A and B are shown apart, each in its own frame.
Chain A
C-alpha cells in the first residue's frame, strides 16, 4: 500500500492563478479530508468527504472547492489563488470498519503540499 499520496510536493503560484492539489489513497477509506497548516494556527479543516459523491465544508472552506467522484481520489481546487493561501496542505483518510466506530480507525496523512502564492 502506498497509503495517502499528494502531488505536487511544492508549488509556486501567482495571485489569481488556479490549480488543483491531488490526493489519492489506496486503502479503500470512505472518509477523506483536507487541512491547511500554518505556524501558530494548528491544522485547520478545509473540506471533507464521507464517501464518493458526498462532500462538506470544514472550518476554512472559502477559496477552495472539492469533489469526490471516486473513493480513491479527493482533489482540492484553488479557484483564484491569494497570498493568504500560502500554507502547507495535508490530505488525510481514515477507514470505516463494520461493527466498529470510525474513530477507531487510524487516520493516515499524506506528506503534504507546500504552496507559495506570490
Chain B
C-alpha cells in the first residue's frame, strides 16, 4: 500500500537554527514527490516537485532533496515567517492521485 510518513510531527526552532524535516514514502514507482506549505486557515501552497533520486531544489531558505526512500526539506537560518505546517505528497506511477502525509508543524521563535 502506498504510504507517506512525515517526521517530526512538530518542530520548534530558534530563529537562525537550521534543521530538516523528513518525508519517508513507500510507493509503487514514484512519479513525483511534492512539498507544500500550509498556513493556519489557508489552503496548501506549492513549494517543490522532485522526480528522481539525487534531485535537489531550492527556494530562499528552503532546500528539498530526494532519495529512493525519503525526502528532506532543509530549512537554513529560519525566520519566524517560516512558521507553518509543511506537507509532503507522493504520486505513484500510472496515476494522477496524490497521497499526502500528515505534515510537520514548524514554529520558529525570535
Contact = CB atoms under 8 A, between A and B. Distances in A.
A110 to B, nearest CB: 5
Given A42-B103, A45-B98, A112-B43, 8 more contacts: A31-B96, A42-B4, A43-B44, A101-B32, A103-B31, A103-B34, A111-B42, A111-B43
B42 A43 contact: no
B45 A42 contact: no
Nearest to B101: A42
Shortest 10 CB-CB distances between A and B: which pairs? A109-B43, A103-B32, A43-B100, A42-B102, A42-B100, A106-B46, A109-B44, A90-B43, A107-B46, A111-B43
Contacts of B103: 42
B83 interface: no
A42 B51 contact: no
Interface of A: 4, 31, 33, 35, 40-45, 48, 50, 58-59, 90, 92, 101-104, 106-112
Interface of B: 4, 31-32, 34, 36, 41-46, 49, 51, 87, 89, 91, 96-103
A5 B72 CA distance: 31
Contact of A109 (B41, B45, B101): B45
B49 A104 contact: yes
Contacts of A41: 102
B102 A40 contact: yes
A84 B40 CA distance: 22
Given A103-B31, A103-B32, A107-B34, A112 B42 contact: yes
